[in-house]
Amino acid sequence: MFDGDNVRHGLCSDLGFSVPDRRENIRRIGEMVKLFLDAGVIALTAFISPFRSDREWVRSLVGRDHFIEIYCRCPVEVCKSRDVKGFYEKAQRGEIPEYTGVSSPYEEPLEPDLALDTHALSLEQCVAQVVGLLRGRKIFTEARGSA
């Protein structure tokens, strides 16, 4: 599992939130994920990727069979209320320019493989839907003897 904040602290620590930096962030993530996929490792990623063109680029890089787009839909007001790191406040004060949802747009997926209304569903419901999708695609199956 690759988390956006963790990758930004290491591999992408030299990048900010400008449009070119966001695009480079997603490019690096795509290249990293491709290496893992080539090694036979399932790679789950959790990133804000605001531009459709960048998501399409990663899809073409790793292959359509390996790219499953899950859109975690949530009103920006709810995102702000959940922001334990204070990024939205910093963006509103101008400390983080071009921040998605504040001063930079987010292009919603047109046809995600799964859309989760995270403001209306519990964590358990979201997880169940993701697991159901992955099982349906035969990414993984129940282990023998498990309930």
Catalytic annotation on 49?
Answer: yes
Q: Which of 13, 18, 49, 104 is catalytic?
A: 49
Task: Quote the tokens at residue 123.
Answer: 């964590």
> In sequence order, what are the beta bridge partners of 47?
none
Task: Quote the tokens at residue 60.
Answer: 């073409």
Task: Quote the tokens at residue 72.
Answer: 């975690």
- Locate tokens 């349906």: which residue? 136
What's the longest Cα–Cα distance across the chain?
A: 54
- Using DSSP bridges, classify how beta strands 114-117 and 2-3 pair: parallel, antiparallel or unpaired: unpaired
Catalytically annotated residues: 49
